[in-house]
């Protein structure tokens, strides 16, 4: 909210005049962020005076209309001066703000006598923007009112001020007014506060005629005050002091009636609305809307209402969206002479609901949503009538009001709880002073029962009052106490394992990146076989940032592909990237049941909530493209190949001490002949290999890119918490080599698995060290050279023992794979 | 030269000749291989001196001692020369090998950057470590979350602006009751429901708000929140914890300031400002847990109270490490993570 300090100062008396810095720091302490400090008129200096236009000569020989004017700036300023002006929105006799040679305008613009358009221009006639108030530069500013020619405009028109733009928190509706902010400032600076609401008599409750008032929507409208006026001069010019304050607060001057309602809203916090009475039929009622009822609001949007919205209506139609925006059908115009001023109290909940439904926020709705003082309608409407009589010649026809009974909110202030919350032992007198300053009254000293003022509907509990007490005393008074020494169990096993694994991935040259989880159907279809993920398998966002990417990723790989593409575009050509993050599948989301969750929620309600959310799993994926990162000066740059993906998967499993098996797989997005599946028992936990050529082409990746994706949750949750140790065997090792011939289709892994089973406890290690095809090996066959290491825990193995095991192994291989010993 | 040379162990001239020849031969060697041959010729089994030594046996007993002393002296002399030459040649040979193996070590100082962990991860790790050391535990929860956990249970009423379509991603449709969590606070509710009191946890994680990506906003970002619920907890404990956290994170000189604020789930509420690099920076929000939130999950607020705090990790990284553009954190350009290595 933009607040001219001069306006606040009208209602706060300080013992000493406060510096702007002191006011700013007081507001910050109170919880109002100062977003901007605008020194209005900074740099302005005279002579700037009020002048009267006495003659206008139109100069038509230029590209745009130019006027050569005679302006009377008073005898003491040299009488009548000739001034060239580019604006045309004034006439002879108008009062204008005239900057004379020697003057300086805000922004360092110096005025001097100069020759222009064939005349000597002896000063300048100013627009509002030129004197630093508001942004209006559509023409020069024409003054209205009783001003003496030649008087100093800077002091007469109050051209110097400081405007603070304060951020008002959503629970502080009262602070969206000069009234609320002045009270706060007075408390913080120990000034004396004069309540602007106390300066105007409350409206009498009696009905005295004019348009009748009724409330049928009693739950959402507490009070309605209507004043009917006649003979209103709608073209009367708004007095300068009102215009100036509206402009400084960031509002335009529109018409006398609208300006006055806005002015009172800013000062008191009570939104008001003016209707053209001639456009209303019969009485005014606050009622709920009917479904599909239509109202064209002042912004000329036709609003189709739902059932149960709050409207201000006459006998035949809805006139306005109550508390949000007036309607076009009853808008006040220049020809309006009969007015109805509405001052009402609408509920925060209903205003907020309707404003959100129509995505329509206004000055009025912002206030009602945050809570307006329910005592204000009667006061503010009287204030408005007073100003309309004074400045627009209005006459009161009659007044009608429905004033609801006010509920007095009280809080039994729990002082023990205050002590716990604040850590401060407040004296009761001190508390009472702060509470009184805030407008609270203590109605029971023994139990410290506090009555809350009408403008603070946000205060409901001891905690709310505690915040007020601390806010006024200063948060810096709160002591600092460090608690610790709680008995924590440290990181959980999955957290520990993830923490330990990631640096090892980095040590392998992999770079962690964090992608958005949003993905397009197109990319999913490209990465996986079309139809692999149906819409039912995927989780969709109702309001995605990009309509192209409405899905949550079922896999990390499409995100890594896209990131790789971005890197390639920036000439990062060789890279290995990894990500650990959530993947979303198996959408179970059903519309929530509308039944309210109990307090506290029951086990079945919690189960129901958990059943609603999609299946989510932490995944780990790695993508390697281009060359391995090695040094071209020392070694050949070697490209990543299919086996690197698989061996990386194996390393991860081994680092986590997991027992696993690897078998050939065919899943997308991998190359069906170069894809390995990692299994733990009957759980598929990961897939690794070279990417499918179609995927590589589709995502514009370099050929032979490789990737891994693993079910990280499963790996981490099934990690070994305590690794059982085995003694190291110290007896000599017996080494044997074996060369066997098998058909091409027999995987080396299967042969090794079989060797390990047949080798028993004496076989320590079996590795393939060569694969040979060619001479001496039949077509369709391959020769596997395998090294074997045997060792016993307690003795040196004899040659006989070793060859016995080797024979067992060969027999097993022959039986299982028809393997032949290669001679 | 006498014949047969070297057979007379008492022939002083012969011995002197053996000695002189051996000395010349040894000193002339240029390599260990040469020396090996010279050793065989002049000190080996068939060398003149060995033969002379063997002839001692045939001498009269009275001459044996004298001959033994004479030959022993020559043998001693030759062996010493051999050892000295061996050392000299070994050093020379090693020098030569080393010289031949000399490399340009600067070639190994490759410019290629190694792997890295994303700095957002390492900042979250660092924060987790600080709180683990204080006896907290790290809690987590789902990213696609029931609206009840994300809003209702946190005292965010149905028409609160944060619930409107502008800020929240809804899953499936606007009435599904499932959202992408807008804060990590739903983890607090799950923790309050699942864990025994007292509770000391932090919850780092990913959160979502439907803002367009620009230099200072990202629709997907990370937060860390802390929650303590115990007997007699209030603002002083919150302040002490924040002070300790800030000092550990930013150095002993950092100053902190709490400023009144508003959050539906805390009352009183505060903004956390820190004075860092010469200016006040808004770091996060905090407050005493609103008793309504605790009551909502069945905690007796006459006995227990708590505090909570939360801050953005991207923001922390921006001002702590001087990252100027949030897009660098999310676009996956490897050069960004690589700047940091495995620390931040």
Structure tokens belonging to residue A820: 């032949």
A491-497: list long-range contacts, CB under 8 Å, 24+ apart: A491/B128, A491/B132, A491/B137, A491/B138, A492/B137, A492/B138, A493/A716, A493/A717, A493/A719, A493/A721, A494/A713, A494/A716, A494/A717, A494/A719, A495/B128, A495/B138, A497/A656, A497/A715, A497/A716, A497/A719
Q: A587 — contact with chain B (CB < 8 Å)?
A: yes
Find out whether A791 and A762 touch, Cβ atoms under 8 Å: yes
User: What is the model's pLDDT at position A356?
Assistant: 87
Find out whether B38 and B92 touch, Cβ atoms under 8 Å: no
CA-angle at A516, arms to A512 and A520, nearest 5°: 125
Judged by CB atoms closer than 8 Å, whether chains meet at B107 and A631 is answered as: yes
The mean pLDDT of A734-763, rounded to a whole number, is 95
User: What is the model's pLDDT at position A690?
Assistant: 97
User: What is the model's pLDDT at position A691?
Assistant: 97
Q: What is the 3-state secondary structure (H, E, C) of A183-194?
A: HHHHHHHCCEEC
Q: From the CA of A573, how many Å to the nearest CA of chain B?
A: 10
**If 0-12 CB within 10 Å is exposed, 13-18 middle and 19+ buried, where does residue A292 land?**
exposed
Q: Across chain B, where does the E strand assignment appear?
A: 137-138, 144-146, 178-180, 199-208, 220-231, 255-263, 266-276, 279-289, 304-312
User: What is the model's pLDDT at position B166?
Assistant: 60
Q: From the CA of A463, how many Å to the nearest CA of chain B?
A: 6
Residues of B in contact with A576 (CB under 8 A): 115
H or E element at residue A285: strand A284-288
Q: A356 — contact with chain B (CB < 8 Å)?
A: yes
User: What is the model's pLDDT at position B2?
Assistant: 39
Tell me how crowded residue A219 is: count the other CB atoms within 10 A of its CB: 11
User: What is the model's pLDDT at position A587?
Assistant: 56
pLDDT averaged over chain B? 91
Judged by CB atoms closer than 8 Å, whether chains meet at B234 and A420 is answered as: yes
Question: Nearest Cβ partner of A545 from B125, B212, B290?
Answer: B212
Q: A55 — contact with chain B (CB < 8 Å)?
A: no
Residues in Cβ contact with A514 at an 8 Å cutoff, skipping those fewer than 6 apart: A579, A581, B118, B120, B121, B329, B330, B332
State in words which class domain B119-338 has: alpha beta
Strand partners, A152: A49
What gap in Å lies between CA A94 and CA A142, rounded to an integer? 6
Tell me how crowded residue A250 is: count the other CB atoms within 10 A of its CB: 14
Question: Nearest Cβ partner of B235 from A422, A610, A629?
Answer: A422
Q: B111 — contact with chain A (CB < 8 Å)?
A: no
What gap in Å lies between CA A153 and CA A131, rounded to an integer? 10
Question: Nearest Cβ partner of A463 from B169, B260, B291?
Answer: B291
What's the start-to-end Cα distance of chain A, in Å? 94
Residues of A in contact with B128 (CB under 8 A): 491, 495
Phi then psi dihedrals of residue A411, to 5 deg? -130, 130
Q: Across B234-300, where does the E strand assignment appear?
A: 255-263, 266-276, 279-289
The mean pLDDT of B75-83, rounded to a whole number, is 93
User: What is the model's pLDDT at position B165?
Assistant: 57
Per-residue DSSP letters for B134-194?
TT-EE----SEEEHHHHTGGGT--TT-GGGSTTT-PBBSSTTSSEEE-SSSHHHHHHHHHH
Judged by CB atoms closer than 8 Å, whether chains meet at A480 and B233 is answered as: no
Q: From the CA of B91, how many Å to the nearest CA of chain A?
A: 30
Q: Is the dihedral of CA A759, A765, A769, A771 positive or negative?
A: positive
Structure tokens belonging to residue B108: 């190994």
Question: Nearest Cβ partner of B125 from A28, A485, A499?
Answer: A499
- How many A×B Cβ pairs under 8 Å? 286
Tell me how crowded residue B48 is: count the other CB atoms within 10 A of its CB: 21
Tell me how crowded residue B45 is: count the other CB atoms within 10 A of its CB: 8
Find out whether A141 and A128 touch, Cβ atoms under 8 Å: yes
Q: What distances in angstroms separate CA A60 from CA A57, A86, A139, one per listed residue?
A: 9, 11, 18
Q: What distances in angstroms separate CA A234 from CA A53, A142, A338, A389, B49, one per listed residue?
A: 25, 18, 9, 12, 141
What gap in Å lies between CA B155 and CA B292, rounded to an integer? 7
Residues in Cβ contact with A789 at an 8 Å cutoff, skipping those fewer than 6 apart: A733, A734, A735, A763, A764, A765, A766
Chain B interface disruption, residue of A34, A351, A478, A616, most B CBs within 10 A: A478
Select the more confidently predicted residue: B45 or A710: A710
Residues of A in contact with B193 (CB under 8 A): 600-601, 606
ipTM over 0.95: no
Question: Nearest Cβ partner of A512 from B117, B148, B212?
Answer: B117
Judged by CB atoms closer than 8 Å, whether chains meet at A515 and B157 is answered as: no
Q: A728 — contact with chain B (CB < 8 Å)?
A: no
What gap in Å lies between CA A371 and CA A99, rounded to an integer? 45
Q: From the CA of A139, how many Å to the nearest CA of chain B?
A: 38
Tens-place pLDDT, residues A377-406? 999 999 999 999 999 999 999 999 998 887
The mean pLDDT of A533-551, rounded to a whole number, is 90
Model confidence at A583, in pLDDT bands (50, 70, 90)?
A: very high
Tens-place pLDDT, residues A307-366? 899 999 999 999 999 999 999 999 999 999 999 999 999 999 999 999 988 989 999 999
What gap in Å lies between CA A469 and CA B200, rounded to an integer? 27
Query: Nearest to residue A543, comparing CAs of B211, B160, B165?
Result: B165
What's the start-to-end Cα distance of chain B, in Å? 86
What gap in Å lies between CA A214 and CA A225, rounded to an integer? 9
What gap in Å lies between CA A390 and CA A242, rounded to an integer? 13
Judged by CB atoms closer than 8 Å, whether chains meet at B172 and A492 is answered as: no
User: What is the model's pLDDT at position B43?
Assistant: 87
- Residue A776 region by backbone torsions, left for phi larger than 0, else alpha for psi between -120 and 50, else beta: left
Query: Residue A53's Cα: distance from chain center in Å?
Result: 52
What gap in Å lies between CA B244 and CA A504, rounded to an integer? 31
Structure tokens belonging to residue A324: 């949000």
What gap in Å lies between CA A614 and CA A551, rounded to an integer? 12
Closest chain B residue to the Cα of A608, Cα to Cα: B146
Q: From the CA of A613, how many Å to the nearest CA of chain B?
A: 6
Question: Nearest Cβ partner of A488 from B161, B200, B297?
Answer: B200
Residues of A in contact with B220 (CB under 8 A): 516-517
User: What is the model's pLDDT at position A593?
Assistant: 58
3-state helix, strand and coil shares in percent for chain A, rounded to the nearest 5: 30, 30, 40
Say yes or no to pLDDT of B111 above 80.
no
What gap in Å lies between CA A229 and CA B187, rounded to an integer? 58
Chain B interface disruption, residue of A482, A510, A652, most B CBs within 10 A: A482
Judged by CB atoms closer than 8 Å, whether chains meet at A514 and B120 is answered as: yes
Tens-place pLDDT, residues A432-479? 999 999 999 999 999 999 999 999 999 999 999 999 999 999 999 999
User: What is the model's pLDDT at position A590?
Assistant: 55
Residues of B in contact with A421 (CB under 8 A): 234-235, 268, 288, 305
Query: Residue B122's Cα: distance from chain center in Å?
Result: 12
Domain ranges of chain B: 12-96, 119-338
Closest chain A residue to the Cα of B170, Cα to Cα: A542
What gap in Å lies between CA A783 and CA A776, rounded to an integer? 9
Tens-place pLDDT, residues B264-290? 999 999 999 999 989 999 999 999 999
Question: Nearest Cβ partner of A490 from B132, B292, B329?
Answer: B132
User: What is the model's pLDDT at position A218?
Assistant: 93
Closest chain B residue to the Cα of A465, Cα to Cα: B268
Query: Residue A513's Cα: distance from chain center in Å?
Result: 24
Closest chain A residue to the Cα of B177, Cα to Cα: A592
Number of H helices, E strands in chain B: 12, 9
Q: B68 — contact with chain A (CB < 8 Å)?
A: no
Segment 425-464 of chain A within 8 Å of chain B by CB = 461, 463-464
User: What is the model's pLDDT at position B1?
Assistant: 36
Judged by CB atoms closer than 8 Å, whether chains meet at B134 and A476 is answered as: no
Closest chain A residue to the Cα of B122, Cα to Cα: A499
Chain B interface disruption, residue of A613, A622, A632, A652, most B CBs within 10 A: A613
Q: A187 — contact with chain B (CB < 8 Å)?
A: no
Query: Residue A47's Cα: distance from chain center in Å?
Result: 48
Model confidence at A588, in pLDDT bands (50, 70, 90)?
A: low
Q: What percent of chain A has pLDDT over 90?
A: 81
Q: A575 — contact with chain B (CB < 8 Å)?
A: yes
Segment 146-165 of chain B within 8 Å of chain A by CB = 146-149, 152-153, 157-161, 164-165
User: What is the model's pLDDT at position A229?
Assistant: 95
Judged by CB atoms closer than 8 Å, whether chains meet at B172 and A609 is answered as: no
User: What is the model's pLDDT at position A206?
Assistant: 66
What gap in Å lies between CA A427 and CA A415, rounded to an integer? 10
Query: Nearest to residue B54, comparing CAs of B62, B13, B44, B79?
Result: B44
The mean pLDDT of A653-675, rounded to a whole number, is 94
Per-residue DSSP letters for A592-635?
PPSSPPPSSPPHHHHHHHHHHSPEEEEEEEEEEESB-S--TTTS
Residues of B in contact with A508 (CB under 8 A): 115
Residues of A in contact with B335 (CB under 8 A): 570, 572
Judged by CB atoms closer than 8 Å, whether chains meet at B169 and A599 is answered as: no
Q: What distances in angstroms separate CA A400 from CA A184, A425, A587, B111, B243, one per listed residue?
A: 34, 51, 57, 84, 58
Question: Nearest Cβ partner of A577 from B210, B236, B334?
Answer: B334
């Amino acid at each position: 909210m933009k607040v001219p300090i001069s306006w606040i100062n009208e209602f706060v008396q300080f013992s000493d005049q406060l510096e702007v810095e002191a006011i700013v720091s007081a507001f910050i302490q109170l919880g109002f962020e100062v977003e901007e400090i605008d020194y209005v008129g900074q740099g302005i200096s005279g002579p700037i005076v009020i002048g009267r236009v006495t003659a206008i000569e139109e100069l038509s020989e230029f590209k745009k209309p130019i006027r050569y004017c005679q302006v009377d700036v008073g005898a003491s300023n040299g009488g009548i001066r000739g001034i060239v002006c580019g604006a045309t929105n004034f006439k002879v006799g108008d009062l204008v703000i005239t900057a004379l040679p020697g003057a300086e305008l805000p922004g360092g613009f110096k005025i001097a006598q100069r020759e222009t358009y064939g005349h000597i221009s002896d000063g300048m006639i100013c627009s509002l923007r030129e004197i630093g108030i508001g942004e209006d530069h559509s023409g020069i500013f024409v003054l209205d009112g009783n001003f003496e020619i030649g008087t100093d405009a800077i002091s007469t028109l109050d051209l110097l001020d400081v405007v603070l733009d304060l951020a008002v928190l959503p629970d502080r509706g009262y602070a969206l007014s000069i009234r609320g902010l002045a009270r706060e400032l007075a408390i913080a600076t120990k000034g004396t506060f004069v309540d602007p609401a106390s300066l105007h008599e409350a409206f009498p409750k009696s009905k005295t005629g004019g348009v009748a008032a009724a409330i049928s929507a009693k739950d959402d409208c507490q009070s309605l005050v209507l004043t009917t006026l006649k003979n209103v001069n709608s073209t009367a010019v708004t007095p300068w002091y009102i215009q100036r304050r509206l402009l400084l607060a960031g509002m335009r001057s529109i018409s006398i009636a609208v300006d006055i309602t806005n002015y009172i809203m800013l000062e008191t916090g009570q939104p008001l609305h003016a209707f053209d009475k001639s456009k209303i039929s019969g009485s005014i009622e606050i009622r709920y809307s009917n479904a599909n009822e239509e109202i064209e609001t002042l912004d000329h949007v036709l609003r189709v209402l739902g059932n149960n919205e709050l409207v201000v209506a006459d006998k035949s139609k809805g006139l306005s969206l109550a508390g949000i925006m007036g309607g076009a059908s009853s808008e006040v115009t220049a020809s309006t002479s009969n007015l109805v001023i509405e001052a009402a109290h609408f509920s925060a909940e209903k205003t907020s609901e309707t404003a959100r439904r129509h995505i329509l926020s206004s000055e009025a709705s912002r206030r009602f949503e945050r809570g307006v003082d329910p005592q204000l309608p009667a006061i503010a409407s009287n204030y408005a009538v007073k100003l309309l009589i004074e400045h627009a010649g209005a006459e009161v026809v009659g007044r009608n009001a429905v004033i609801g009974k006010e509920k007095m909110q009280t809080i039994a202030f729990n002082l023990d709880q205050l002590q716990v919350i604040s850590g401060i032992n407040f004296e009761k007198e001190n508390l009472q002073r702060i509470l009184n300053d805030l407008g609270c009254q203590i109605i029971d000293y023994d139990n410290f029962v506090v009555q809350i003022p009408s403008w603070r509907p946000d205060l409901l509990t001891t905690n709310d009052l505690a915040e007020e007490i601390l806010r006024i005393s200063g948060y810096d008074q709160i002591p600092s106490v460090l608690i610790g020494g709680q008995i924590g169990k440290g990181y959980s096993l999955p957290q520990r394992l993830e923490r330990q694994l990631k640096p090892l991935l980095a040590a392998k040259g992999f770079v962690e990146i964090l992608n958005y989880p949003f993905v397009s159907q197109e990319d999913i279809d490209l990465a996986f076989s079309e139809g692999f993920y149906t819409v039912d398998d995927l989780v969709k966002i109702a309001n995605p940032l990009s309509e192209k990417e409405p899905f949550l990723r079922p896999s990390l790989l499409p995100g890594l592909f896209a990131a790789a593409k971005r890197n390639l575009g920036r000439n990062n050509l060789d890279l290995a990237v990894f990500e650990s993050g959530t993947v979303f599948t198996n959408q179970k989301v059903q519309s929530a049941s509308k039944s309210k969750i109990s307090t506290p929620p029951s086990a079945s309600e919690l189960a129901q909530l958990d059943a609603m959310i999609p299946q989510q799993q932490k995944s780990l994926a790695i993508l390697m493209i281009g060359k391995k990162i090695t040094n071209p000066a020392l070694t050949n740059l070697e490209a990543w190949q299919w086996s690197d993906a698989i061996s990386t998967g194996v390393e991860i499993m081994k680092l986590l001490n997991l027992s696993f098996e690897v078998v050939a797989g065919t899943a997308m997005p991998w190359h069906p002949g170069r894809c390995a599946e990692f299994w733990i028992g009957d759980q598929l936990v990961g897939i690794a290999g070279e990417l499918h050529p179609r995927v590589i082409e589709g995502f514009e990746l370099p050929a032979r890119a490789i990737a891994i994706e693993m079910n990280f949750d499963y790996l981490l949750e099934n990690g070994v918490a305590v690794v059982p140790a085995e003694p190291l065997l110290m007896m000599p090792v017996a080494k044997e080599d074996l060369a066997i011939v098998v058909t091409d289709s027999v995987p080396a892994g299967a042969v090794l698995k079989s060797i390990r089973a047949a080798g028993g406890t004496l076989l320590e290690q079996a590795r393939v060290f060569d694969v040979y095809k060619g001479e001496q090996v039949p077509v369709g066959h391959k020769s596997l050279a395998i090294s074997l290491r045997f060792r016993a825990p307690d003795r040196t193995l004899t040659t006989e023992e070793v060859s016995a095991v080797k024979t067992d192994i060969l027999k097993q291989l022959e039986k299982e794979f028809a393997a032949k010993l290669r001679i | 030269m006498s014949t047969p040379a070297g057979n007379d162990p008492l022939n002083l001239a012969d011995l002197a000749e053996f000695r002189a020849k051996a000395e010349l031969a040894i000193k002339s060697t240029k390599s260990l291989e040469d020396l090996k041959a010279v050793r065989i010729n002049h000190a080996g089994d068939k060398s003149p001196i060995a033969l002379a030594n063997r002839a001692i046996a045939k001498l009269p007993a009275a001459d044996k001692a004298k001959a033994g002393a004479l030959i022993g002296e020559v043998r001693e002399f030759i062996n010493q020369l051999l050892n000295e030459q061996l050392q000299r040649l070994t050093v020379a040979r090693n020098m030569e090998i080393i010289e031949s193996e000399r490399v340009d070590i600067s070639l190994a100082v490759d410019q290629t950057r190694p792997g890295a962990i994303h700095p957002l991860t390492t900042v979250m790790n660092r924060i987790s470590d600080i709180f683990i050391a204080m006896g907290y535990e790290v809690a987590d929860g789902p990213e696609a979350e029931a609206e009840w956990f994300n809003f209702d249970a946190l005292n965010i009423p149905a028409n609160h602006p944060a619930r409107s379509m502008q800020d929240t991603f809804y899953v499936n449709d606007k009435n599904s009751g499932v959202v992408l969590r807008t804060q990590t606070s739903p983890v607090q509710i799950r923790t309050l429901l699942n864990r025994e009191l007292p509770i000391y946890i932090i919850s780092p994680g990913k959160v979502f708000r439907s803002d367009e990506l620009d230099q200072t906003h990202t629709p997907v970002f990370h937060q860390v929140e802390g929650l303590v619920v115990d007997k007699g907890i209030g603002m002083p404990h919150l302040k002490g914890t924040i002070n300790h956290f800030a000092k550990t994170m930013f150095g002993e000189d950092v100053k902190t300031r709490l400023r009144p604020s508003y959050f539906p789930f805390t009352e009183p509420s505060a903004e956390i400002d820190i004075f860092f690099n010469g200016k006040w920076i808004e770091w996060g929000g905090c407050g005493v847990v609103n008793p309504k939130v605790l009551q909502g999950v069945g905690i007796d607020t006459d006995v227990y109270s708590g505090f909570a705090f939360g801050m953005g990790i991207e923001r922390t990284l921006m001002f702590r490490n001087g990252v100027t553009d949030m897009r660098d954190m999310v676009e996956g350009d490897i050069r960004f993570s690589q700047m940091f290595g495995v620390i931040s």
